[in-house]
Structure 1
């Protein structure tokens, strides 16, 4: 079946200060890569904007209002809302559209319209805790997508796999007490945000962390993925797999020191698709998270999307 890709021009209008790593050029670089003829079969759709109530699937109303109050109104204004997290006038609309794309992709795979989907969106979401915006993130899009799969489609066991080089502290925080969601993460440690130790396991061992030391490469990543992530997934037997697809573990990335190459993301994608084939009716939804070297991001995301397209 065709792989669906959700995109929207609004994602380029979420602005950050000059020199900030999470910038619109990230998506422009990915779009250049997707112009290759190999990606012609992609079913490219415009991501819809979610309504604000969707945020309440994973966050309290007070958090939504706190973020809304920080959104500037004056064109061209960029406001710092947290140490490294900024907002511009279209940032809330961009974040709601990232969530809308994720929810639409869940609808697509749960109804069998497509087997898998990728959401090329920003801002990212996996650092957003229940009531805290941080790490370039306002709202946790992948957590909202998981809750949407449960509420609308009756998904009983949702697995979230996060291979961003920074630990998905927000996703861990939201699902710490919820054994219906398995959260698995590979990440560099020590590194921002400082969470993600192996002994952080959640209330029912539904949190599986596989921290990696700085300067390791493909072999260590693949071994951790096989021994920790894939073992947990097979024990959990998910009916939906969601991927927090950060590509900042690429060796070119300026924010970390893990030395992966594009083929590693191809390999990891393939392994998750095998699990999805075994347990989840091939249902996979992938959301863009980090990846701050433009060439590394384009290469890695290209490998990832191409593997999704192979079905």
Structure 2
């Protein structure tokens, strides 16, 4: 963490130095990270539509009163063009460290999927489509496993993964899919309880010029299809029913770049503030002190208290929704 305080805030300039800084921290705890059992499953027909499921060794947090099994989907970042559920960093310890952290510390079965990138033909709303298929896999396949008949579902999207989360939550294309998990039906097998937007670019008005072509090609109508644009359209279409009873956390690093991340976050929150009182109360806004845009997923599983502090912020938030 001390090293990244000295790095540039711009995303492109901070990627490789941040990874270099965290590689030895992950290697130092490799045995623990690799001790978490996982399996790889297909959730769709495309080669990129696979996911890793990390299983807790035992249920933790006995004070949580819900009898449902907690399942967390983590969508990694990568700017729509790169990224994987298993990065080559530290011999594949990233993002296994994320799965290990939430499984070991909080007892959450953690799913880390790959999704189609632009080199695979991904174009808006493909990220939402892939997430919808992951959720369908949880509903139709995972609930057949022993002990997973009733699931409290949570979804966290990091950077580009958060774009896909917003697409799934707000685009009209996924209304039917959302209705299956945004419900108060006590007989529902899977219920979405909360989502986390982790360092997400909510609009692209100040995006780095080097990304302009990618953004235009993916979104086509950038303003309308950005997370903020989708939220605005949802407010106009159905102002009293934006996310039903789902709780939302917007979480950013104190070292996130102002132009691409923090300024758009402020504008997104201004839009959110126009929602009804219930929706406003459903929102939690928090900061990860000392983290930049790249570091949060790399800091988990290091077994270093201040590095993992944000993971405990998220875990405590999710647990609070299960009480």
The TM-score normalised by the length of structure 1 is 0.34
- Structure ID, larger Rg: 2
The TM-score normalised by the length of structure 2 is 0.33
The structure in which a higher percent of residues are helix is: 2
